């Protein structure tokens, strides 16, 4: 039994008006996140035996506006996801007949973990920076941006860099690191944000030292 089963039991037997999101029941869809006993978790992955003999609070995800019960408004996050342009950008598209853009296993490894994000928003709930300033681009969106920046097939660095390095981009992060602790898919958004900072800083330095486009 998991917390989601308990919520379903409550809805079926005790209070039919209880409202919450869920779909897959197996930690893939990312829709059942809630603050379980004070920590952002997927309710389908929080086993009740962990809380045996105790009363626990299940609350809506912190840092998001509440619509009803456990349902929060995720508009802000959705806007940020689109903002970082989560697709492969090419300087010049080649027609499909010319074959796929190839990639080695090592090149895949560079970004693979960051592509496992399921958009459950637990990291945003765990991030006090986002709690204080909702304009902050935040963990998941930056991890996704970094996923494309590190993708060998992508050529959109110049498009994405201004987005992730603007005032409320990666530099807002002060390395609390809780985003990576709560991630249910083993993604390390904290790492992605710091790597993006490093890339941005070296890029800026390079443009000062080699203004004529050193690569």
Of the pair 45, 71, the CB lying nearest other proteins is at 71
Q: 99: exposed, middle or buried (C-beta count within 10 Å: 0-12, 13-18, 19+)?
A: exposed
- CB closer to other proteins, 24 vs 198: 198
Question: Residue from 115, 119, 155, 194 that binds other proteins (CB under 8 A)?
Answer: 194
Using the rule CB under 8 A, is 108 a contact of other proteins?
A: no
Residue 64 touches other proteins, criterion: CB under 8 A: yes
Residue 47 phi, psi dihedral angles, 5° rounding: -75, 135
In angstroms, the CA 58 to CA 7 distance is 9
Show the site string, 8-47: x = touches other proteins by CB under 8 A, - = not. Answer: ------------------------------xx--------
Query: CA-CA distance, 107 to 131, in Å (whole number)?
Result: 35
What's the number of CA atoms in the CB half-sphere (13 Å) around residue 192? 32
Q: Would you say 149 and 155 are in contact if contact means Cβ atoms under 8 Å apart?
A: no
Binding range to other proteins, per CB under 8 A, among 42-50, 86-94, 125-133, 151-159: 125-133
* Nearest Cα to Cα of residue 127 among 143, 111, 147: 143
Q: How far apart are CA 20 and CA 72, in angstroms?
A: 9
CB of residue 85 vs other proteins: minimum separation in angstroms? 25
- Interface with other proteins includes 135 (CB under 8 A)? no
DSSP notation for 37-54: TTEEEEGGG-BGGGGTTS
Report the residue number, 27 or 131, with the smaller CB distance to other proteins: 131
CB of 14 to other proteins, least distance (A): 23
Q: Between the CA of residue 74 and those of 106, 121, 136, what are the distances in Å?
A: 35, 8, 14
Minimal distance, residue 197 CB to other proteins, in Å: 9
The pattern of x and - marking residues 67 through 96 that bind other proteins according to CB under 8 A reads: xx----x-----------------------
113 binds other proteins (CB under 8 A): no
Q: How near is the Cβ of 125 to other proteins at its closest, in Å?
A: 11
Closest CA to 159 of 55, 211, 88, 66: 88
Binding site for other proteins (CB under 8 A): 38-39, 62-68, 73, 128, 131-132, 134, 174-178, 181, 190-191, 194-195, 198
């Amino acid at each position: 039994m998991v917390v989601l089963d308990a919520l379903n039991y409550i809805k079926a037997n005790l209070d039919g008006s209880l409202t919450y999101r869920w779909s897959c029941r197996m930690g893939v869809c990312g829709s059942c996140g809630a603050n379980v006993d004070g920590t952002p978790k997927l309710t389908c992955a929080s086993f009740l035996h962990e809380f045996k003999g105790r009363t626990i609070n299940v609350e809506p995800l912190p840092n998001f506006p509440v619509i009803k019960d456990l349902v929060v408004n995720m508009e802000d996050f959705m806007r940020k996801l689109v903002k970082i342009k989560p697709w492969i950008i090419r300087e010049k598209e080649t027609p499909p007949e010319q074959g796929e853009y190839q990639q080695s296993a090592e090149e895949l490894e560079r970004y693979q973990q960051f592509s496992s994000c399921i958009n459950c928003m637990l990291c945003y709930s765990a991030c006090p920076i986002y709690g204080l300033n909702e304009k902050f681009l935040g963990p998941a969106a930056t991890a996704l941006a970094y996923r494309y920046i590190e993708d060998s097939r992508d050529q959109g660095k110049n498009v994405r860099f201004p987005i992730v390095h603007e005032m409320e981009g990666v530099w807002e992060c002060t390395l609390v690191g809780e985003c990576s602790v709560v991630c249910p898919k083993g993604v390390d958004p904290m790492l992605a944000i710091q790597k993006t900072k490093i890339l941005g800083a070296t890029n800026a330095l390079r443009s000062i030292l080699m203004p004529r486009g050193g690569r």
